[in-house]
Structures are given as C-alpha cells and as structure tokens.
C-alpha cells in the first residue's frame, strides 16, 4: 500500500489544503492528514475541533483519514509505515523552507520522500493565518475554506450559534 502523510497544524483547514489533499488522494492509496500537536503554540481550534472539521471536509474522499501526532514527523511516519510526506507549496518562499525540512527528514529517515504539490494559482494567497485574520474582523471567508470551517470560524469570532 502506498501511504502518504500530509502533516500540518491545519488551524484551520483551507481550500488550499483541501486542493492539495485531493491531488494527493489521487496519487496514493491512503493519505493521512496528520495534525501536529505543538504544546508551544496557541491554536484557535483545539486538536479535537480540527480533527472534526477536517473529517467533515474530507468525508467524500474515501482514502483519507485524520490523525494527530506529537514529536518528530519521521517517528510518526515510521510508526504508521508511511514513506511519503506530502507538502503543499503556494509560493517560492514556501518551497525554500519545505526543501530544508525535507532534507532534514530524509537525513533522519532515508526512506522518507517528500512530494511537493503546488496549490492552484487561485488559492496561492490563502493561508490559515490570513483566513483567521479576516474572520476575526467579521469578513466572509467562505470562498477560502470549506463551509464547515467557515461556520466554525464565525462561531469562534462572533460568538454565534
């Protein structure tokens, strides 16, 4: 089985993430969206909330599952027996940073191969940080995130049901 891991914080999942995931799902037998649990960060959504939102957003993609991990990504991929790491790239600066991470991961786990998937040009400016900033000021982010995420953002920032 060709299993790939798509790691990240996904706080929140954007349509750019989703587009990369859909492409990866066509290339691999299984794609695991792995949410990094980082105790040093203060995310807007808890890990459990992110897992639920992502599960809702990907329910139509049968070969995708959602998981979480702490620590080194290479330890996680060894544990779940994956050898491919999927990374989305929006712009050249993303690529430069991702290449460094890919080389470090490969140095620690020689079987780990990183696959870079560019986002669609119409989504290249969308980031989780930017989406949160717009949502915090009451902006409409429905064009940039799955509907379930837009609803959850509205609830977080506007305290509406």
pLDDT means over runs of 10, the chain (161 residues): 95 96 97 92 93 97 97 96 94 87 95 94 91 94 96 86 49
Q: What is the pTM of this model?
A: 0.93
> How many domains would you assign to the chain?
1
Q: State yes or no: is 9 an active-site residue.
A: no
Residue 19 zone, left/alpha/beta (φ > 0; ψ -120 to 50; rest):
alpha
Question: Which token pair is 113?
Answer: 């191969």
Q: What is the CATH number of the domain that holds 99?
A: 3.40.50.620
Per-residue confidence (pLDDT) for residue 92, from 0 to 100: 81
Choosing from 9, 79, 106, 128, the catalytic residue is 128
Residue 126 CA to residue 74 CA, distance in Å, equals: 27
145 lies in some domain: no
161 lies in some domain: no
138 lies in some domain: no
25 lies in some domain: yes
22 lies in some domain: yes
Residue 86 CA from chain centroid, whole number:
9
Range of the domain at 103: 3-121
18 lies in some domain: yes
Q: State yes or no: is 42 an active-site residue.
A: no
Per-residue confidence (pLDDT) for residue 41, from 0 to 100: 83
* Residue whose token pair is 């669609």: 120
Q: State yes or no: is 129 an active-site residue.
A: no
Per-residue confidence (pLDDT) for residue 147, from 0 to 100: 96
């Amino acid at each position: 089985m060709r299993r790939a891991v798509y790691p990240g914080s996904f706080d929140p999942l954007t349509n750019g993430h989703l587009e990369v995931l859909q492409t990866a799902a066509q290339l691999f037998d299984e794609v695991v969206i792995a949410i990094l649990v980082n105790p040093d960060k203060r995310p807007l959504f808890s890990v459990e909330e992110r897992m639920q939102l992502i599960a809702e957003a990907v329910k139509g993609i049968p070969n995708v599952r959602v998981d979480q991990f702490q620590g080194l990504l290479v330890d996680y991929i060894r544990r779940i027996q994956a050898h491919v790491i999927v990374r989305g790239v929006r712009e050249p600066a993303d690529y430069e940073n991702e290449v460094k991470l890919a080389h470090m991961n490969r140095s620690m786990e020689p079987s780990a191969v990183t696959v870079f998937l560019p986002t669609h040009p119409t989504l290249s400016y969308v980031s989780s940080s930017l989406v949160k900033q717009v949502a915090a000021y009451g902006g409409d982010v429905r064009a940039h995130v799955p509907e379930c995420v837009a609803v959850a953002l509205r609830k977080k920032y506007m305290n509406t049901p």
